[in-house]
Every structure is written in C-alpha cells, then in structure tokens.
C-alpha cells in the first residue's frame, strides 16, 4: 500500500496493490477494491508505483502493465513523506530490488563552455548528438547506473531496442564530458 504524510503529519492512504492470501490480486483505493488478477505461490511479481507529486497522481503497474492511475487527495497539499507498507499476515514473502528515484532532484547541470546537445528528446528510435568536438565515447545507463550501451566515435545512437523509460547519456570528447537525461518512448 502507498500513502503520504503532509506537513501536519496527517496520513492519507492513497491505495495500492494487495496480494490476498486466497490468490486474488486487487487494486485498492480508500474503501473500494477491484480484482486485477491472481497470483501463484513462489513466483516473482514486478510491482511499480510512479508517484508524480507535481501532477498529484500515482500510476500503478503489475508486471509492467499499467493497472490504475489515481489522483492524490487534496489533504496532501504539501507532501513531506511517502510511505510504502506491507503486511504478510503470518506468512512469508520477499521484497527485492526496491528502487526510489527522484527525477526532480537528479541535479544534472552542464558547463556550457563547449555545449553538447541531444535531440530529439523524447525519442523512440535514435538520439542525435550535436557538438563541435569529436566524440570519443558515448555511454547510456539506466537510472540505477547499469550500463546499457557503449559506443565510440558516433553522433547518432540507436535506442529502438531499449525499453521505454528515462536514461542517462554520458558523452565524452577530447575536452569535455556531458551527462544528460533522455526519454525513450
């Protein structure tokens, strides 16, 4: 379940995915519950909640499929804490690879002495690199730092095979380095 605390320490349960002991997977918001699938013991499931505090919404995914989009209640005008909770009701389960990424505060800045730009962004096929310098290496990583692609001496990067999402591109020339975010759609 996912909830938020505001600056007055008031809690608002937004909702979430519940794996009931009888095998039902349900999306629950407030008092409403909708069955979205069933689960099998000893099988891993990918559960994701994208929280956009600016748009005041949460999008839930189950095994990379969008399940529900929820508006965050007005009680939480100034959210100070996001709470992720679970209860195993006396049984056991495992949680692995919990990742929290704050895209607002990724904090990438660039020295514009030798500007390097990328386009189009977002893109579904290629990222072009615009610079007056010769490109030595280009490295694409996901937001966890995992290297997805390494390329040399090229100003056009093929990204059609990447999964949709946000990536970092590290561009190295003889005199500069630029790290920029791009979106694969």
Classify burial at 182, counting beta carbons within 10 Å of its beta carbon; exposed 0-12, middle 13-18, buried 19 or more: buried
Round to whole Å and give the CA distance between 82 and 3.
Answer: 6
Note every long-range contact of 95-99, with CB atoms under 8 Å and residues 24 or more positions apart, other chains counting: 96/44, 99/143, 99/144
CA trace torsion 145, 150, 155, 157 (10° rounding):
-80
Q: Is the pLDDT of residue 111 over 60?
A: no
pTM passes above 0.85: no
At 115-150, the pLDDT tens digits run 789 999 999 999 999 998 899 999 999 887 889 999
SS3 content of the chain, % helix, strand, coil (to 5): 0, 50, 50
The full set of domains in the chain, from first to last, is: 2-100 (no CATH), 106-184 (2.60.40.3080)
- Lowest mean per-residue pLDDT among 66-75, 142-151, 162-171, 175-184: 66-75
């Amino acid at each position: 379940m996912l909830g938020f605390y505001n600056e007055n320490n008031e809690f608002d349960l937004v909702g979430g995915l519940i794996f009931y002991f009888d095998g039902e997977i349900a999306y629950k918001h407030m008092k409403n519950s909708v069955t979205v699938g069933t689960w099998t013991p000893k099988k891993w499931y990918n559960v994701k909640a994208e929280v956009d505090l600016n748009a005041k919404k949460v999008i839930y995914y189950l095994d990379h499929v969008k399940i529900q989009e929820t508006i965050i209640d007005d009680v939480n005008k100034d959210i100070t804490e996001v709470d992720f909770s679970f209860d195993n009701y006396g049984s056991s389960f495992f949680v692995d690879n919990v990742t929290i990424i704050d895209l607002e505060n990724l904090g990438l800045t660039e020295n514009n002495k030798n500007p390097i730009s990328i386009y189009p962004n977002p893109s579904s096929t290629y990222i072009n690199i615009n610079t007056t310098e010769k490109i030595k290496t280009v490295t694409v990583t996901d937001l966890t730092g995992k290297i997805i692609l390494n390329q040399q001496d090229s100003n056009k990067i093929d990204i059609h095979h990447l999964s949709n999402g946000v990536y970092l591109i590290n561009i190295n020339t003889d005199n500069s380095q630029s790290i920029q975010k791009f979106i694969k759609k």
